[in-house]
Amino acid sequence: MSKVRVSCFSVSLDGYAAGPHQSLEHPLGFRGPELFEWFFPTRTWNRMHGKDSGSTGVDDEWAHRGMENVGAWILGRNMFGPVRGPWPDESWKGWWGEEPPYHVPTFVLTHHPRQSLEMKGGTTFHFVTDGIESALRRAKDAARRAGNDKDVRIGGGVATIQQYLRARLIEELHLAVRPILMGSGENLFAGIDMAALGYRRGQHVSTEHATHVLVTRET
């Protein structure tokens, strides 16, 4: 059955999912890439970049699982790019070059209208100005057209996931908890009582690089 999920979302031991001082040169913020040191070596990551190499094992299994069965994505504007305010033009097309890694309809939350953007490899970015529930309806429709059991994956960033958590719209959350302390940045759990919202810990497994925890919402 299809679901709304977050997958492969990296956080530090103290709950930070991005470092401070994000910029065009440092999209993940200061020390942000350390959060993904479990993901970068995997075969799944390398294949996304045209390489037939990389590690296998538990980390790769979770990485691969995160990319499976996705019929649509939802992204916050900050995850799409560093441009703020009204779009000055349509020159910014994302961090990923001409062929983004999504390959399905992808809905970007923003306060400022922009025409849909079709990219190579099956990704079309649709810019949604009327809120998270509208974006989710459109994403579910797109996923349903791709196949009745296709999931909607919410990619981030932190503010976007927090909004969907508070609305209890995320059914499954896979966290890759890195054994590092960030101290500052964007904290996923700031101001959120996960237990009160009905979320419970499910499957969990540890590797040298991360502890993978599946958090599910009670119905």
Burial 96-126, CB ≥16 within 10 A → b, else e:
eeeebbbebbbbbbbeeebeebebeeebebb
Look at phi and psi of residue 138 and say left if phi exceeds 0, alpha if psi is from -120 to 50, else beta.
alpha
**Per-residue pLDDT at 118:** 97
* Count of domains forming the chain: 1
Residue 89 lies in a domain: no
**Per-residue pLDDT at 22:** 84
Q: Which of 7, 68, 17, 4 is nearest to 192 (CA)?
A: 17
Residue type present at position 61: E
Dihedral pair phi/psi, residue 213, rounded to 5°: -125, 130
**Per-residue pLDDT at 50:** 83
**Per-residue pLDDT at 148:** 79
Secondary element (H or E) of residue 156: strand 151-156
Residue 73 lies in a domain: yes
Q: Is the per-residue pLDDT at 184 higher than 90? A: yes
Task: Spell out the alpha helix ranges (H) of the chain.
Answer: 43-48, 58-67, 77-80, 132-146, 158-166
Average pLDDT of the residues of the chain: 95
Kindly report, residue by residue over 16-39, the tens digit of the pLDDT: 999 988 888 888 889 999 999 999
Residue 88 lies in a domain: no
On the 0-12 / 13-18 / 19+ scale of CB atoms within 10 A, 140 is: middle
Q: In CATH, what number is assigned to the domain containing residue 123?
A: 3.40.430.10
pTM: 0.94
Domain span at 177: 4-21+28-82+98-217
Residue 92 lies in a domain: no
Residue 133 lies in a domain: yes
Q: How, if at all, do strands 70-76 and 151-156 pair?
A: parallel
- Neighbouring C-beta atoms of residue 44, cutoff 10 Å: 21
41-67: average pLDDT: 93
Residue 160 lies in a domain: yes
- Per-residue tokens: 206: 């540890």
Kindly report, residue by residue over 94-139, the tens digit of the pLDDT: 999 999 999 999 999 999 999 999 999 999 999 999 999 999 999 9
Residue 195 lies in a domain: yes
191-206: average pLDDT: 96
How far apart (Å, rounded) are the C-alpha atoms in residues 111 and 128?
8
Residue 137 lies in a domain: yes
Strand, helix or coil at 106?
strand
- For 187, residues 6+ apart whose C-beta sits below 8 A from its C-beta are 14, 15, 16, 17, 158
